[in-house]
């Protein structure tokens, strides 16, 4: 895994709100990630979240045809846990964001089926249970991500003027411009990637993905990183009902069972991850 960041890459991330890292994984590592994610998704079945009840009678929505989404696979897959809770990823995220350390907010497998709908422009952080202009996500391409099968697109620099007004993810690709009309003239930047490449993007950058106009799959594994020290803002997001009820606005989000600290500049992380977070 190529975890060394250049100053140019860090500067580009902070200026544009995203950075693409080509050949992030070796071919052998890519196969390990594919097997871990595929196995975890199969094991999870129809459960979007760990230990979530499945409503067999719920009608399918537009976004059921955008991608298959399985969240926090690290919680029930040891193979995924070993990948996502890697301190090297935490160090990269901390270096890009300019913070002392990061916790996992949530991981998610995002799998665009053949002929899947596009993912509308949206911001990540306004959905989450904390607010930080330095939060960011890793996106690892498990298949080639192309213009034809639904690669990511970014609006460069939009993270600098984004607010916490949540435009949502509408069925209409341009809904976000009703909230942020000043972004209409920004030229969208596609992020095509070969399998094994990756990107980091800021939690307030406008991004989306095209439709999958092919008969093949477009698999990606992602993870949101929360700067250590963030506090609860009143939004439930991925918190279960018990966790949600236990927090008051302003409480630290520092429960390692839900949001493990995977890197901090002041603390060593030499112990085995499967022992730190054994269940």
Residue 227 forms beta bridges with which residues?
A: 102
> From CA 57, how far away is CA 265, in angstroms rounded?
48
Tokens of residue 5, six digits: 């960041």
Residue whose tokens read 């990637």: 193
Instruction: Give, as one character, the DSSP assignment of residue 10.
Output: H
Q: Mean pLDDT throughout 178-192?
A: 97
- Give the pLDDT confidence score for residue 274 in this predicted structure: 47
Contact between 234 and 126 under an 8 Å Cβ cutoff? The reply is: no
Report pLDDT for 50: 84
Instruction: Determine the pLDDT at residue 63.
Output: 52
What are the structural domains of the chain?
Answer: 8-276 (2.60.120.620)
Q: How confident is the model at residue 3 (pLDDT cuts 50, 70, 90)?
A: very high
pLDDT of residue 271: 47
Of the two residues 16 and 173, the one the predictor is more confident about is: 16
CA torsion 90-95-100-104 (nearest 10°) is -30
Rounded-to-integer distance, Cα 87 and Cα 79, Å: 15
pLDDT of residue 80: 98
- Tell me the pTM: 0.92
Could you give the CA distance from residue 216 to residue 106 in angstroms, rounded to a whole number?
26
The model's pLDDT over 20-67, given as tens digits with 9 standing for 90+, comes to 999 999 999 999 999 999 999 999 998 898 877 655 555 656 455 557
pLDDT digits (tens, 9 = 90+) for 211-238: 999 999 999 999 999 999 999 999 999 9
Q: Which two tokens stand for residue 28?
A: 């052998």
CA dihedral angle for residue 166, residue 178, residue 16, residue 33, rounded to 10 degrees = 50
Q: What is the pLDDT of residues 83-115, one digit of tens each?
A: 999 999 999 999 999 999 999 999 999 999 999
Beta strands 136-141; 198-202: pairing state: antiparallel
- CA–CA dist 220, 201 (Å, integer): 14
């Amino acid at each position: 895994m190529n975890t060394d960041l250049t100053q140019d890459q860090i500067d580009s991330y902070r200026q544009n709100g995203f950075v693409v890292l080509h050949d992030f994984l070796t071919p052998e590592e890519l196969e390990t990630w594919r097997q871990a994610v595929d196995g975890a998704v199969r094991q999870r079945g129809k459960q979007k979240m760990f230990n979530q009840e499945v409503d067999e009678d719920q009608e399918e929505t537009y976004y059921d045809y955008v991608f298959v989404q399985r969240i926090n696979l690290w919680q029930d897959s040891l193979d995924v846990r070993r990948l996502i809770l890697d301190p090297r990823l935490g160090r990269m995220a901390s270096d890009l964001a300019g913070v002392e350390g990061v916790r996992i907010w949530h991981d998610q497998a995002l799998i665009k089926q053949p002929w899947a709908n596009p993912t509308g422009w949206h911001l990540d952080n306004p959905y989450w249970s904390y607010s930080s202009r330095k939060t960011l996500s890793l996106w690892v391409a498990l298949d080639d991500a192309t213009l034809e099968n639904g690669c990511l697109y970014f609006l460069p620099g939009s993270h600098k003027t984004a607010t916490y007004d949540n435009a949502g993810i509408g069925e209409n690709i341009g809904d976000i411009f009703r909230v942020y009309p000043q972004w209409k003239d920004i030229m969208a930047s596609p992020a095509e990637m070969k399998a094994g490449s990756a990107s980091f993007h800021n939690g307030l950058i406008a991004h989306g993905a095209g439709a999958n106009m092919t008969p093949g799959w477009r698999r990606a594994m992602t993870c949101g990183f929360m700067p250590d020290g963030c506090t609860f803002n009143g939004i439930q997001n991925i918190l279960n009902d018990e966790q949600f009820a236990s927090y008051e606005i302003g409480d630290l989000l520092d429960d390692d069972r839900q949001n493990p600290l995977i890197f901090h500049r002041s603390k060593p992380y030499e112990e085995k991850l499967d022992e730190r977070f054994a269940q």
